Structure 1
Amino acid sequence: MSRPLVIAAALAALLAGCAPQIPDRPAAASVAAPSNWRTSFAGDPAVEGNWWSGFGDPQLATLVDQARTHNSDVAIAIARVEEARAQERTSRAVLVPAVNLTAPASYGRSLTALGTAVEATVAQPQFQASYEIDLFGRNRAQIDAAAANVLASDAARQTTLLAVSSATASGYVTLLALDERLDLLRQTLTSREEALRIARSRAAAGYTSQLELRQAEAEYHATQQQIPVVETAIARQENALSLLIGDTPAAIARGVRFAALHRPAVPAALPSELTRRRPDIVQAEYALAASDARLRAAQRQFLPQVQLSAAIGEVMGSSLRDNVDVWSIGGSILAPIFAGGRLRGQFDAATAQRDQAAFTYQRAVLSAFREVEDQLAIIARLDDQERALVAQRVAVADSLRHATNRYRAGYSPYLEQVDAQRVLLSVDIALIQLRTDRLTAAIALYQALGGSPST
């Protein structure tokens, strides 16, 4: 081995020992999955495919499919995946030699040593090649970071798909619940109208006072004013769903009625499985892997870089009798000696970014556990709440029947009937809202669990 190569190799070995050690991930960022959920639930391990089809409404499934295909957020997420893939291809280009073609040419007039003017044309086409030997793995670490970014971007796309699917399903359920509430108000308004007609007849015949007539009118208009509010909410909900499916505001077709919807089966999943099911956790995991790779690349910046270069070409000119072949081959070692703390600052920044990614992953996992537990707690108590509401409705409906009979028999004032009607309407609206909450909680649980395995 020649003396210069021995010196270069010794220098490279010396500088390699000067590179800082990569610190371990912060211990405080570690997280362990609990053995089981705090709230127990019965899951169906056989649930696969499009979970939104489990509601039994083909129109809901159509809307979700449209949203997954045409939603703007999904399109943006797909474009980000393509961007990450392009960046990965760019990073891999450093592993192959770069070849360029240069073709300088000139035409000029000059004086010879004898004072004679000479015009000459010169051209020198040349192929140049350069290649960096990835001796310490710096380029490979950058490629690993780019590859992890591709996987993180694809996981982000899946997160967006799951969020859009859940939002569309919840929005459609809410729309059907608003339809149900509008039907209830219209039915109530019809009964209020009949009560008002009777009150007017009784007042005209002198059987009741003007007070009871005004009470009947007030109840009629109180119900009447609620209808435009719900109609406005329906229009806004349709507009929101139109945006989700990537369309301009328009009416949304309905499938089954609200009462015909049923909850899809919930997939059985242990807490330890959540980190593999939820795409946002997978995204945070790959982001952490990318930060690890960038930290390795920052460490390798302290080490020498070995460059090889070669060129071959031909010189052609009007002053030459024959063309002249030219070539060159060489190499260089770039070893950092002093950079004013720049390399150390970059390494420390990469270390801090890696630590941030570790804590971000921890937060994603802990948030996932909490979201699942929240929805399980809601679902576990909705059945008890519904049983109480149904029992209350039975009692209120019976109370209204007695109040109506007593009023018509002249044993009680109209106000008793009005109060019973108000309570019954309130309970019916509460039942619609509770059943809406139950369906949307099931959707939220699906989202919290990461959807089905094929999502």
Structure 2
Amino acid sequence: MRRALGVVALGVLVTGCVGPRPAAPVATAIVAPPAWRTALGPGSPVRAEWWNAFGDPVLTRLVAEALANNPDLGIAAGRVDEARAAERLARAQLSPTVSVGVPTTDSRALNAFGTASTNLTATPSITASYDPDLFGRLRNASAAARAQLLASEGARDVVRLAIASSVASGYITLRALDARLAVARDTLAARGDALRIARRRAETGYTSNLELHQAEGEYRATEQLIPQAQLAITRQEDALSLLLGATPRAIGRGAALTALVLPPIPDGLPADLLRRRPDLFQAEQTLVAADRSLDSARAALLPNIALTGSAGVILTTALANPVGIFSLGGSVLSPLFDGGRLRANVDLTVARRDQAAFSYRRSALTAFREVDDSLAGVQRSGEQAVAIRGQRDAYAAALRNASNRYRAGYSSYLDQLDTQRGLLTAELALVQANADRLTSYVALYQAMGGGWTEADVAAVRR
């Protein structure tokens, strides 16, 4: 499976104390946009909401809220509108230009008898001009603008996918911090029991004060883990609130970290699925736009033919009847000497086209690397979690034995203390390994352009 892809704040009052955080809103009405990805070709749009695969309704709601309210999406949508207007402007250059004018003149003259006469003349006319674009300069410019529009839509989809992935990863990190806080509290409770036993034994003279001070030091060392975890949780909630397009607030919780579903990965994912990645589509369309711009720049070196025509009527008080006028003509404009401007523009466009080609190649190589890294992360973090889980179970059993021996007086407090430290380290490492594995799944979905379905895999294999 791993090698199958290797081939190809407004209104917020800030005070000096930390008060209660705003509760997470119950935004059950928020749904993800029905077409959260642009159709990039036959069979390419991602229909499945891949974040549902983790089986947590709260995560689904958070992603939907982020896709509806994140300001970065508004910026990306504005760039798409800008590119769409530019594409319409370039396409309009292919159409004739028609204008209407009604110039008027008012003339006065004196005759031989000293009598003044006034003549009012109006000339309504319609003027049309058209560039037949014999060498494709305007058509290529329009095609380049169209490719730029598609590239901007791909860039918007990159933002959408990044936001969904960031929310999913941030939520997993938040649940991991919750698990770390729970481990710290459970360990603190166990250390509290050990401290009470050590104090009672020291007061009765059964042991020296050395064990009491050691137990108290371990209790304080565990106690400081709780505010540390709470601070990390607050910062993570603030980061998620920013992704949701909201002011800092408490984030709702759903399934625990260990209850999140590990999505199944089909064996032998085809490399062609990578073509659905929006960043690859953006790079491809940027290359197409650069190539079309080069054709347009080369066509500018050739003669340009323009056709013009006008028709109108002269209305004047000096004549009893109007006089019709019309004209039809054409012009051929060919560059003779421009100081090398057109040739320099061609060279400039060639350089940009070459940059776009290398950028597309880099995007493709990056896609393969990200998929391979994500698949390796899913596999290796899973193996690591299994090993750490065995270590945690061994330390838990050792702690039971050490505690019983210490209470019975067969061993010193240091044996129990060392085992407690090892168990705490193993439990925290297990939380991190589980979070890393889930985050690797998110990274894999993002690397594959937003997930896959069995029908997608089967269609590409055919």
Given the two structures, how large is their TM-score scaled by the length of structure 2? Answer: 0.84
Matches within 5 A, 1:240-279: 240-266=239-265, 270=269, 272-279=271-278
CA distance in 2, matches of 1:213, 1:419: 15
| 1:342 Cα offset (Å) | 0.6
Counterpart residue number, 1:199: 198
| 1:143 Cα offset (Å) | 1.0
Counterpart residue number, 1:180: 179
| 1:124 Cα offset (Å) | 3.0
1:432 aligned to 2:400? no
CA distance in 2, matches of 1:328, 1:38: 67
Counterpart residue number, 1:22: none
Counterpart residue number, 1:234: 233
Q: Is the 8 A contact 2:5 2:268 kept in 1?
A: no
CA distance in 1, matches of 2:348, 2:109: 57
Closer/same/farther in 2, CA of residues 180 and 69 from structure 1, 3 Å limit:
same
Match of 2:93, SS?
Answer: helix
Closer/same/farther in 2, CA of residues 244 and 267 from structure 1, 3 Å limit:
farther
Match of 2:161, SS?
Answer: helix
Q: Is the 8 A contact 1:277 1:453 kept in 2?
A: no
Deviations 1:35-60 (A, max 9, x none): 83459xxxxxxx96111111111111
Listed as ranges, the gaps of 5+ residues in structure 1 are 1-33, 40-46
Counterpart residue number, 2:362: 363
Match of 1:405, SS?
Answer: helix
Closer/same/farther in 2, CA of residues 130 and 206 from structure 1, 3 Å limit:
same
1:36 aligned to 2:35? no
| 1:415 Cα offset (Å) | 2.5
Matches within 5 A, 1:213-232: 213-232=212-231
Q: Is the 8 A contact 1:285 1:361 kept in 2?
A: yes
Q: Is the 8 A contact 1:52 1:264 kept in 2?
A: no
| 1:444 Cα offset (Å) | 0.3
CA distance in 2, matches of 1:57, 1:113: 101
Instruction: Give the structure, 1 or 2, with the largest relative contact order (CA under 8 Å, sep 6 or more).
Output: 1
CA distance in 2, matches of 1:307, 1:137: 13
| 1:449 Cα offset (Å) | 1.3
Matches within 5 A, 1:148-187: 148-187=147-186
CA distance in 2, matches of 1:446, 1:304: 52
One-letter code aligned to 1:169:
A
Q: How many residues align?
A: 415
| 1:175 Cα offset (Å) | 0.9
Q: C-alpha root-mean-square deviation of aligned residues, in Å?
A: 2.4
One-letter code aligned to 2:264:
A
Listed as ranges, the gaps of 5+ residues in structure 2 are 8-45, 457-462
CA distance in 2, matches of 1:118, 1:194: 118
CA distance in 1, matches of 2:421, 2:3: 48
Q: Is the 8 A contact 1:299 1:347 kept in 2?
A: yes
> Comparing 83-92 with 296-305, which one deviates more in the overlay?
83-92
| 1:117 Cα offset (Å) | 5.4
Deviations 1:108-159 (A, max 9, x none): 6566688765555443332221111111111110111111112111222222
Closer/same/farther in 2, CA of residues 125 and 411 from structure 1, 3 Å limit:
same
Closer/same/farther in 2, CA of residues 35 and 268 from structure 1, 3 Å limit:
closer
One-letter code aligned to 2:346:
F
Deviations 1:370-416 (A, max 9, x none): 11111222222223222221221122222222222232223333232
Percent identity for Structure 1 against Structure 2: 51
CA distance in 2, matches of 1:282, 1:113: 81
CA distance in 1, matches of 2:389, 2:133: 72
| 1:271 Cα offset (Å) | 5.6
Match of 1:127, SS?
Answer: strand
Match of 2:131, SS?
Answer: strand
1:305 aligned to 2:304? yes
Closer/same/farther in 2, CA of residues 112 and 360 from structure 1, 3 Å limit:
farther
Match of 2:309, SS?
Answer: strand
CA distance in 2, matches of 1:246, 1:402: 52
> Comparing 87-96 with 121-130, which one deviates more in the overlay?
121-130
Q: Is the 8 A contact 1:48 1:452 kept in 2?
A: no
Counterpart residue number, 1:342: 341
CA distance in 1, matches of 2:112, 2:392: 116
Q: Is the 8 A contact 2:202 2:208 kept in 1?
A: yes
One-letter code aligned to 1:314:
V
Match of 1:252, SS?
Answer: coil
